Amino acid sequence: METVRNFQKELDKLLDGMVERQEAGKRLFLHSCCAPCSSYVLEYIRTYFRITVFYYNPNISFETEYQKRVAEQKRLINAYNAQETGYPIDIVEGDYEPQRFYDIAKGLEGCPEGGERCFLCYELRLRRTAELAKAGGYDYFCTTLSISPLKNAKKLNEIGERLAEEYQVSWLASDFKKKNGYKRSIELSTQHQLYRQDYCGCVYSKEERERTKQKNDTGVIKTEC
């Protein structure tokens, strides 16, 4: 029988060990999908790591949507840095290259959300994160994606650990939706008046979300992040 891993407990153990050994301040290259998802993650771990947020999301199909989301990410980081709580947070904005997403999604356009197309999208973003984490001499790399109830934390960690071995940079195991992380991200989004999208980013997720809305009498649907 396959052992079910508790990624949150693994992270807790790592963080406790860092405190005991007085190792806080290691450098983390953190991929972020959006400001709302990063809100809790940054609040949670910025006292342990010197974080550089890597905003790289070629899956976002519309440039206006991309620009709106990256602006909110930068605004949130500025707000956090103004609080002077924990280490200062830096940001690196990756290239906006949606064709890379369309290339990996070819043939999987009709795949439902949460399936193989999404797994390839995870790897597309995490691979670039690992590459730059290695080049920049970071101690760890990670992603905020696991905070969403609609994202597969097991698959994200599986991909991250495989890339960690390939690039020889440590992966930070996590499942940020645990410990009420998702709930806290909603609270923080309200507090900072963040734009919260109701689809992941790609045209296929947007189309699926619109179909779901049409089936819902109220037109109200749970947001993606």
Instruction: Judge whether residue 59 has pLDDT over 80.
Output: yes
CATH code of the domain containing 80? 3.40.50.620
Q: Would you list the DSSP string of 25-56?
A: TEEEEEEES-HHHHHHHHHHHTTTEEEEEEE-
Q: Would you list the DSSP string of 171-186?
A: E----TTTTTHHHHHH
Q: How high is the pLDDT of residue 84?
A: 82
Residue 207 lies in a domain: no
Q: How high is the pLDDT of residue 211?
A: 81
Q: Give CA–CA dist 148/178, Å, rounded.
A: 10
Residue 154 lies in a domain: yes
pLDDT band at 53 (very low <50, low <70, confident <90, very high): very high
Q: How high is the pLDDT of residue 220?
A: 47
Residue 2 lies in a domain: no
Residue 205 lies in a domain: no
Residue 109 lies in a domain: yes
0.75 exceeded by pTM: yes
Q: Give CA–CA dist 12/28, Å, rounded.
A: 16
Residue 79 lies in a domain: yes
* Number of domains observed in the structure of the chain: 1
Q: In this structure, what token pair is assigned to residue 20?
A: 């005991």
Q: What is the pLDDT of residues 132-168, one digit of tens each?
A: 999 999 999 999 999 999 999 999 999 999 999 999 9
Q: How high is the pLDDT of residue 198?
A: 83
Q: Give CA–CA dist 213/207, Å, rounded.
A: 10
Residue 168 lies in a domain: yes
Q: How high is the pLDDT of residue 2?
A: 65
pLDDT band at 221 (very low <50, low <70, confident <90, very high): very low
Q: What is the pLDDT of residues 67-107, one digit of tens each?
A: 999 999 999 999 999 998 899 999 999 999 999 999 999 99
Domain that holds residue 34: 7-197
Residue 118 lies in a domain: yes
What DSSP element (H or E) covers 143?
Answer: strand 140-143
Q: What is the pLDDT of residues 160-206, one digit of tens each?
A: 999 999 999 999 999 999 999 999 999 999 999 999 988 888 988 88
Q: What are phi and psi of 92, to 5 degrees?
A: -125, 125
